[in-house]
């Protein structure tokens, strides 16, 4: 499925080696050049995650944020990571094992969604391995192959007794589906990608996704702006659904 020697190259990431796919034209080059990806989200995790926390990484890709969460939560913490795509999951597993990441770690090769499904379709991006999607592209500009994957609801995938201190959710438009699957077991804090055009593509209404977030969190902050998000009207004006504009939102009750 993947030849680690032929298909990957080693990047220096936070003092450790991480394998990235040579064919990846987006996240791989960023890690090779800068040793990190998504500066704002990286800095948020570095600032807020504390030793002993239980963290969830939904859309773990090859493990950059999974390893960072483990590093910050320490040997007394726990990280639960979900990545449905087979090659990404292979690299995720390798990168975690090579790092000898401290603390409790569990990796799962399936997607989180609003239903439990033995077979869902993951539509693959040939050059951006962080852009695989649970919904097909219908604009006629891009053809994608697909991979059959399993999916579970969040409230079925996370053990009932666990209190989740922080969750990072970045699933290329399927964020609304993940939230629908949380049920009553919402994380204490959450960083979630806000990409209205992709939410709509996946069948979610951004207004309903906003309502779910604002019903469960008192504070919602746009990582690209120093202030909180005042309301959904500001969010719509700043990130119109017709555009490719997107961000990460940090949600908490602090």
Least confident of 36-45, 84-93, 140-149: 140-149
The per-residue pLDDT for 47 is 97
pLDDT at 140 (0 to 100): 55
Angstrom distance (rounded) from CA 228 to CA 252: 11
How many Å apart are CA 136 and CA 144, to the nearest integer?
Answer: 8
> Pick from 227, 217, 135, 213: which is nearest to 172 by CA?
135
Phi-psi region of 133 (alpha: psi -120 to 50; beta: other; left: phi over 0): beta
Mean pLDDT of 58-80: 95
Q: Which pLDDT score is estimated for 231?
A: 85
Phi-psi region of 69 (alpha: psi -120 to 50; beta: other; left: phi over 0): alpha
Position 224 scores a pLDDT of 94
DSSP secondary structure letter of residue 98: H
| Yes or no: domain 38-252 corresponds to CATH 3.30.365.10 | no
Q: Which residues pair with 190 in a beta bridge?
A: 167, 251
pLDDT confidence of residue 103: 67
Residue 146: strand pairing partners: 123
User: How confident is the prediction for the chain on average, in pLDDT?
Assistant: 92
For residue 226, the model assigns a pLDDT of: 73
- The pLDDT of 176-191, averaged and rounded, is 97
| CA proximity to 38, closest of 247, 187, 239 | 247
**Model confidence at 5, in pLDDT bands (50, 70, 90)?**
confident
Least confident segment among 131-145, 160-174, 183-197: 131-145
**Residue 181: closest CA among 147, 139, 207, 153:** 153
pTM score of the predicted model: 0.94
């Amino acid at each position: 499925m993947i030849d680690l020697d032929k298909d990957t190259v080693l990047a220096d990431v936070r003092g450790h080696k991480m394998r990235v796919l040579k064919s990846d034209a987006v996240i791989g080059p960023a890690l090779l050049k800068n040793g990190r990806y998504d500066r704002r989200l990286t800095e948020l995790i570095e600032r807020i995650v504390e030793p002993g926390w239980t963290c969830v990484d939904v859309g773990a890709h090859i493990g950059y944020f999974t390893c960072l969460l483990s590093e910050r939560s320490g040997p007394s913490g726990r990280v639960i990571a979900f990545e449905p795509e087979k090659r990404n999951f292979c690299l995720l597993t390798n990168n975690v094992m090579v790092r000898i990441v401290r603390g409790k770690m569990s990796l799962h090769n399936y997607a989180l969604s609003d239903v439990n499904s033995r077979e869902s379709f993951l539509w693959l991006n040939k050059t951006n391995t962080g852009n695989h999607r649970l919904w097909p592209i219908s604009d006629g500009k891009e053809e994608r192959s697909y991979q059959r994957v399993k999916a579970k609801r969040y409230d079925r995938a996370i053990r009932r007794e666990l209190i989740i201190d922080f969750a990072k959710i970045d699933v290329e438009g399927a964020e609304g589906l993940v939230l629908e699957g949380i049920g009553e077991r919402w994380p204490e804090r959450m960083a979630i990608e806000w990409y209205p055009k992709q939410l709509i593509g996946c069948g979610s209404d951004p207004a309903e996704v906003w309502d779910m977030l604002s019903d469960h969190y008192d504070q919602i902050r746009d990582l690209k702006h120093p202030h909180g998000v005042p309301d959904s009207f500001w969010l719509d004006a700043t990130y119109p659904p017709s555009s490719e504009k997107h961000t990460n939102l940090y949600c908490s009750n602090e």
